[in-house]
Structure 1
Amino acid sequence: MEAGRRLADRYEIGEVVAKGGMGVVWLGRDLRLGRPVAIKLVSGEALADPTVVARFDREASTVARLNHPNIVAVYDVGTDGADSFLVMEFVDGSSIAAAIGDGPLPVDETVDIAAQACAGLAAAHAAGVVHRDVKPANLIRTPDGVVKVCDFGIARLQDAVGQASLTGTAIALGSTSYMSPEQVSGNAVDARADLYGLGCTIHAMLTGRPPFVGDSPLAVVHQHVTQPPPDVRAVRPDVPAPLATLVGELLAKSPDDRPASAASVATRLAAMRAAATVPEAPPPGSGPPGNGHRRWLWGLAAGGCAALAAIIVTSFLVTGDEVPTAVSTPSAPTSPAVTASAVPATAPAARPSRTTQAPVTPTPTPSAAASSSPPPAPREPIAGLRLSIRTQVAAGHLAEAAAPDLNKRVDDIAKRLREGNDRDAAKKIKELRTKLADLHREGRLTQPGYDALVDDVDRVAALVPSMPPAPPKP
């Protein structure tokens, strides 16, 4: 395979960005639609192993069934000569593993990432797909704060009839640091294995490392099966009790003791985020995360798209063991007085320092926080609007079927803002307002949900200087 070659007379191969046991990932271009794509190839000696080919075909059919804003999309699958290929969405962003490499994440940021990952997993589970390799490297976050679950390469269709096991031993595939006890033991796996992986991932985001570490894969998997999970608040005293409790439930040894579904976990996370108290944004021109500063960051992120590609697409291929050894982790969280209530939800570039925090007082429980005053909006308007859509669905104020279209409209607005195209951004915001009014009139969006979403749209509109005033609410 060489750069410049065309697959199926449509996809032009670019540069290699990642290699792994499942094949090679290339940057490519869809010549018909004129868009960048990620192309995963299985060729050469790997094709001599029917197990590898079967696994590749299964990945294609599995992921192609999924259509959700929090899941990396599969566009096409096919063969060209002796090569099998999978064409995927090219995601401009970086992995959560890379973010953790800079140190533990703020609590609010962790909750938002986990809630988005839950939304993607819930959609996969509803389609009968279990990911089986949920970990930070398989969560990609775009500059706009959208989290996407990627690499369903070892996913299993839950109810597939007559499907032979292709994984061999439990340790052969997946990352031992994030594997559920039932995977380690070779027992039946269902959607609750993904929740265990999510629990390990949340623990890693909050503390800088997964719950169990060791000198070898065997040492790590032994702890998954035999050792109780560590209390996350022993390392991060600022973690709210409800979040610490949820992590403990996700890390339960028995699947029966974990939450029932990813959707239920997403609802709990949305409630935690809504209960947090976030300070209002500073006025424009006063510094991050003001409008001009954010525009500059988005432009930088877009300009660095090619440089980020290797980090992004590598996660599609990582299936080997990732065994962290014990690392030096701060015994308390980062910058002074940073709590769950004092950080933006999803603005990576504006994150506070995460390696020198002083001890802080734990955040009050949601009930206490909620009883004092209504929570103001997140300081990052686009991320706040995305979260508000999920919150309204979870609260029963918005019809779930309407959420994908609203998320797509927010994506369109974010793209225009990132490009500095205020005119088109204003047009898309106006269309979103009209859509919300239509949903309200049709009875698919309650009055409280409509009011909340319109308020969040108004905050996004404030990013566009030429945006006309919002019409009065009905």
Structure 2
Amino acid sequence: MPSSAGPSIDTITEGGRVTQVGEGQEAEESVPPVMTFGAPTAGEILAERYELVEHINNDSAGRLVWRGVDVVLRRPVAVVLRYPGGDSATEMLQAAVAASRVIHPNLVGVYDAIDEAERAYVVREWVDGQSLREMVADGPLDPGRATAIGNAAASALAAVHATGMVHGNMHPGTVMISQEGRVVLADARTDGADSRENDVRAVGGILYFALTGHWPHAEAPLRGATAGHGRAAIPDGVRDASGAIAAPRQVRAGVPAYLDDLTMDLLDAGIAPPPSDVLAAELGRLDIPIEEEPYPEPAGPLRFAAETGDEPSPLASVGGRKVAIGIAGLLAVALVGLLIGISALGGDDDPLQTEPVARPSSSAPASGAAPAAATRKLSVSDVRIIDPDSKLRDELGGAERVTDGDQDKGWDTDTYTQPNFGNRKSGMGVWIDLGEEHTVKSVQVSLSATGASAQLFAGKTDPPSTSAGDKLLFTSYRTNPVGQPFEEHDGTTMTFNGFDADAKYRFLLFWLTALPSNDRGYQVGVLEITVQGS
């Protein structure tokens, strides 16, 4: 009986020849098709609906890949046939049905999965385009294009992960770009043999490759690949004498610092990656129309928490990549679009299984190590403005807008004649109560303008909201700074780290020490404060 399915199919244009499998999956000419009799012929119609038009190639399992036409809906399709059907095709068909439940525009669609005993076949969407590997062969991509591709890949992963499955096979040959610019993730394993964490780390590999033209995971073997196919043919990343990978900014000019940091954090086995939906949300925030304006260079990217005491990498950029931590507490919004899924092309037993996911070889946790607690956005129980040097105390309103999730509204200081609050205050800030003690990974503060100076403190007391109470609070908190202060910061986002992984925190104080200038004087707005932890 026909049944809907959802693995993915890719297309690659190679000198006028189109392949419908991910790179590294096309079989050598010496690999015979798995067939016992009755080779299909052009013009044959399967299931009284799918007409075979042209034999494209065979995949690494020997399955035959054909370009076809759905004669009912009059649309092009790809047909992957396996001989024989029956028990030998059970896993292929079951995996196709399972993957079809994933609906996302960045996953190739599957239309049918049919077993006719003597043969079985999966009917999929036909996509014209090229792989990321082929695209980068002409040179590394600009940061806007690379970010857009990374965003699409992370969004596809978020959809796959939401079903409880993993992709397990992301690399430059399974990330496809159609002629219309649509980014498609293909050749998923979906067998649960890999992990969501490795899927997310693979996005770092995709970003690194798109930005540099080098693959950072040469140590990860390409199962079933031969010279000239898949990861085996991709240049290894630039490394130092110890084997450490160079950051994208060290390989080529023009890579924004925050995109460099994000990519290297994803590749760092010592830094826990965020969930795929959070990563997709951040890449979506950074993503801009590619051809409209120069790529911005804001400071304060999404960062992931490093263990306290980690030594910075010898290749880390100035300022220390590993010391900045935190994950934006955004959730990716699921896109509703084409009824599409994930490819069933792959290994002999599992049609969705092709190659292991791209990942650092050291990404697996040490034997016996407890899994890290999931990092999430922490809720805020109370928030107020701390202004110990004010007699009027007329700048306390609007504190609740700092943690309401709206980046367009926040709390604003008054306008002063000098950056140091008109030489009348040592500073003022925003106090946050998390309601109970938590392990905190990072605090990210979004400001309305660049040029501000600020610090973050932690404390144990909650004095009353009076001038005396604020003075007592600041006096006790200032002895416990968190991370490094920002001085005349050239971005609008400040990310604080340096939290003790073994300590618990409830009360935090974001403290402004200098204001940026505008056309009226010196003033800033605190638009949003996000606390990440567990």
> TM-score by structure 2 length?
0.44
From the CA coordinates, give the structure whose radius of gyration is larger.
2
> TM-score by structure 1 length?
0.49
